[in-house]
Structures are given as C-alpha cells and as structure tokens.
Amino acid sequence: MQDNILVIGACGQLGTELVEALRNIYGDAHVIASDVRQSPDEVFKQGPFELLDIMDKQALETVLQKHKPTQVYHLAALLSATAEAKPKLGWSLNMDGLFHVLDAAVDFKIGKVYWPSSIAVFGPHTPMNHTPQNCVMDPNTIYGISKLAGERYCEYYFNKRGVDVRSLRYPGLIGYKSAPGGGTTDYAVSIYHDALTTGEHSCFLGPDTELPMLYMPDALKATLDIMHAPADQIKIRSSYNLAGMSFDPKAITASIQKFIPDFKTTYAPDHRQAIADSWPNSIDDSEARADWGWQPAYDLDAMTKDMLMNLAPRYGKSLSL
Ligand code: SER
C-alpha cells in the first residue's frame, strides 16, 4: 500500500527539512504538510499543504478524512524559552496537540505516529554526564514537564490502545536550511550566522555551558531510521535517548575560529542560563544504537565546516574551507 504521510508543525525548524526528506522518499503528492501558518519555503509549493491548528480537534479530523494518512509526524510545539514566556499556551499546545493526535491514531487507525521528545525531560537531579535512558527525571520547565508527560502518554497509548508511536529525545538541533524558534540551544545556530555577518556573537549562555547537540542531517537520519525500523525493534515506547555531540559556547567558538580566525564571542547570560543549567551535559544513547542501529556521522568540526560552507554564499562570502 502506498503510504500517505501527514506532517503537523511542518513549517518549523525540523518540519521544513523533514518534509523535504520525506518527499524525496515517498513522492511530493504523498507527503501532506500542515501548520497554523503558511511558510514561503519552496518545499511547501511542491506538494499538498493544509492550514491546521492542532488545538482544533475537528479540523484535524477533517484533514485526516481528506488525506487518509498512514503515518503522522506530530512536531507542533512551543520550545523551552517560548513556553516559559507563555506557560499556559505552552502546556495546552504541547499536551492537547498530542492528545488529539493519539486519539485520532486510534479512531482513524493510523499505522505509525512520530512525536519528538527532548533532553528537556531531564532536570537538576538527573545525572549530568552520559545521562542514562532511565534515571531521575525532574524537569523544571513547562516544556520539559510537557515532554515528560507526553512520553508517558505515548507509552500508555502503545500499551493500552495499540498505537505504534515512536519518539526520540532530541538534543539541540542545528541546521542551516530553516530558522529555529524559541529554544535554549538555538544560540548554536545563530552563532554561525553571526560569524558570517558581524564576526561577533553575543551568547545568552555562559562560556562553559555544555549541552548535547545534533546536526540536522543526523537528526533527519535518526527520525527516518526509527520510523522505518520494524516494530519489534522499537523496545522503548516512551522516547529514546539520542546523542550526536556535546559542546559549550567556548568550544563552538574555537571550532568556528579554525575557519574564521577573527571571530569573537562575548557572553551575556540571561534567563535561558537557568534552563540550560538544568539539562544534561551529555547523553548515553546506547539503547538507540543497540535496538535500531543509531550512529551519528557529524562531530563539532565536521558540522562547523558544513554549516559555514552552506551559509557563506547566502551572505556573499567565500571561505577557503
Ligand atoms: N532545542 C530545544 C530547546 O532548546 C530542546 O529540545 O528548547
């Protein structure tokens, strides 16, 4: 049977790239992008697009009746810093959106559901280094609390309602094709743009704030790999730990300076410092590696080179990389 895939929250940082990757695999007509807003990005002109507010259950059901998707990727969420600024909206969007999708998966017999979790499920009492899959989880942000509750709901719907739901705890995602919005890890995206424009980055985290990160091509690969793996290989139905690399603002600055020696970072930590401090430094993802063969390709310098190479022409720069 030909798969039809619905991507909810398609115009975000991950969705934009995932829609492109899915259209390359399944064909433009079989990947339905949806979001509360229309994006000018070219990829959305190449196949079906539905305006959809995930808080509106009826509207979701109308889209499901129309396109009869066999898989749903539900990416719509408020990220950490935005959800702290708008806690009620953060909680209701992140939770109600997931309830609507999981209930619809039962009612419409959707074959597979993908829902992203995050390193934000961990908290101040979590072991900070090589954080294991199962450990103390005491998130203290609305975003983290919603993701941890969401993980429990996913596992519950798998066990009790038979929904084949799969999930990854993403580290900070870094890519050049689409802009991030509202995350604590997002300095690691803007720093590359600053390096190619002003030559200076003012960092909202301190120099030694180490966080787990992942380059977008690896994030896409992990997402597609877990969705394509046979169901019996997916042994964790809450969400898998996932790691690529870990670095602090000092280290990413040094990595950029290998290519742009005059680049400078200054430090002006703000309210996001406390969020970052409550998250792990590094993640143990051995279960993802063992169960469905996860293996990242990019380290910090390989990512820096690829980011700068792809962003430089946008700013009329040529770098010898
Ligand atoms: N990148 C996210 C954030 O910073 C973490 O999942 O909010």
Q: pLDDT band at 1, cuts 50/70/90?
A: confident
Q: How confident is the model at residue 179, as a pLDDT?
A: 87
Catalytic residue among 73, 114, 143, 157: 143
Amino acid at 38: Q
Tokens at 220, concatenated: 């896409």
Residues whose CB is less than 8 angstroms from the CB of residue 39 and which lie 6 or more positions away in sequence, other chains included: 10, 11, 16
For β-strands 165-166 and 172-174, DSSP reports them as: unpaired
How much is the average pLDDT of 23-45? Answer: 95
3-state class (DSSP) for residue 104: helix
Q: How confident is the model at residue 281, as a pLDDT?
A: 98
Residues carrying CATH 3.40.50.720, the chain: 5-172+216-241
Largest CA distance in the chain: 58
Q: How far is the CA of 203 from the centre of ligand 1 (A)?
A: 16
306 and 239 in contact (C-beta within 8 Å)?
A: no
- pLDDT tens per residue across span 135-155: 999 999 999 999 999 999 999
**Domain 5-172+216-241 of CATH type 3.40.50.720:** yes
Q: Is the model's pLDDT at 107 over the cut of 90?
A: yes
Residues 122, 137: Cα–Cα separation, whole Å: 5
Q: Is the model's pLDDT at 117 over the cut of 80?
A: yes
Tell me which residue has its CA closest to atom 3 in ligand 1: 183
Q: How far is the CA of 195 from the centre of ligand 1 (A)?
A: 22
Residue 209, sorted as left (phi over 0), alpha (psi -120 to 50) or beta, turns out to be beta
Atom of ligand 1 nearest to the CA of 170: 6
Tell me which residue has its CA closest to atom 1 in ligand 1: 172
CATH class of the domain at 174-213+246-315: alpha beta
Q: Is 146 in the pocket of ligand 1 (CB under 6 A)?
A: no
Q: How far apart are the first and last CA of the chain?
A: 45
- Residue 55 has φ and ψ, to the nearest 5°, of -75, -15
Residues carrying CATH 3.90.25.10, the chain: 174-213+246-315
Tokens at 108, concatenated: 């419409």
Residues whose CB is less than 8 angstroms from the CB of residue 238 and which lie 6 or more positions away in sequence, other chains included: 117, 151, 152, 154, 155, 167
How much is the average pLDDT of 50-77? Answer: 98
Mean of per-residue pLDDT scores for the chain:
97
> Active site includes 215?
no
How much is the average pLDDT of 234-253? Answer: 98
Tokens at 107, concatenated: 């009612």
Q: Is 16 in the pocket of ligand 1 (CB under 6 A)?
A: no
